[in-house]
Amino acid sequence: MACEADYVEDPAIKKPDVPEHVQDAIRTLIEWSGDDPAREGLLDTPKRVGRAWLEYCQGYKEDPAIHLSRVFEEVGGYDEIVLLKDIPFQSHCEHHMAPITGKAAIAYLPRDKVVGISKLARVLHGFARRLQIQERLTAEVANCIWDNLEPEGVAVVIEAQHGCMTGRGVRTPGVSMVTSKLCGCFLDDERSRKEVLSLMGYG
């Protein structure tokens, strides 16, 4: 699935060092998997995997709320739901460190603060690029928007596939997990809830 592309590898920028103890851990994992970490094709793998995990878990280095600090208060009289849907994301499950890939729909009904629309996706990625369970990811995105934009309502629906269910374990491909977190009017008012879920395509 296509994913957000704000990690741009610049060949002029030195790649981060991967400490020896991290590389050792990856060599141990290769051995545990049944291969030989000393064979040629695997010699640089510990460094690559170390860097890859820095990137998968980049979210630990940021507070996603920072993306909601630039708000617009002049919205030209618009007072309806703002929805960003089909936002692709990647995360990793905290149980198996296997990929979680999916899409999110994020909506809010502004009170007096509106943000640039890309910022909703940035908040999602900030929480997704960590070791997660889908329920917590969903709640963290919704709560961050609720606390920082103080809107009338927030709704987040996430639909994702879990690598730990497809490539191992129960080995059941094609299933999606769906989670939602509703706050404010989307939780309390049935008409608002129906409207937002229908705009998201879940109506």
Ligand X SMILES: Nc1nc2c(ncn2[C@@H]2O[C@H](COP(=O)(O)OP(=O)(O)OP(=O)(O)O)[C@@H](O)[C@H]2O)c(=O)[nH]1
Residues annotated as part of the active site: 93-96, 134, 162, 164
Specify the DSSP element, H or E, that contains 85.
Answer: strand 82-93
Min CB(51)–Zn ion separation in Å: 22
d(CA 129, CA 43): 27
95 near Zn ion (CB under 5 A):
yes
181 near ligand X (CB under 6 A):
no
Residue 18's nearest CA partner among 53, 42, 43, 56 is 53
Kindly identify the residues of this chain, within the stretch 117-146, that bind ligand X according to CB under 6 A.
133-135
Pairing of strands 131-132, 82-93: parallel
49 near ligand X (CB under 6 A):
no
167 near ligand X (CB under 6 A):
no
Taken as a whole, the chain contains a residue count of 203
With CB under 5 A, what is the number of residues at the site for Zn ion?
5
With CB under 6 A, what is the number of residues at the site for ligand X?
10
d(CA 82, CA 154): 10
The answer to whether the annotation marks 96 as part of a ligand binding site is yes
List the x/- string, 57-96, binding to ligand X by CB under 6 A: ------------------------------------x-x-
Residue 193's nearest CA partner among 158, 155, 159 is 155
170 near ligand X (CB under 6 A):
yes
d(CA 162, CA 31): 25
Residue 126's nearest CA partner among 2, 118, 146 is 118
16 near ligand X (CB under 6 A):
no
Q: Which residues bind ligand X (CB under 6 A)?
A: 93, 95, 133-135, 162, 164-165, 169-170
Binding-site annotation, residues for Zn(2+): 93, 96, 164
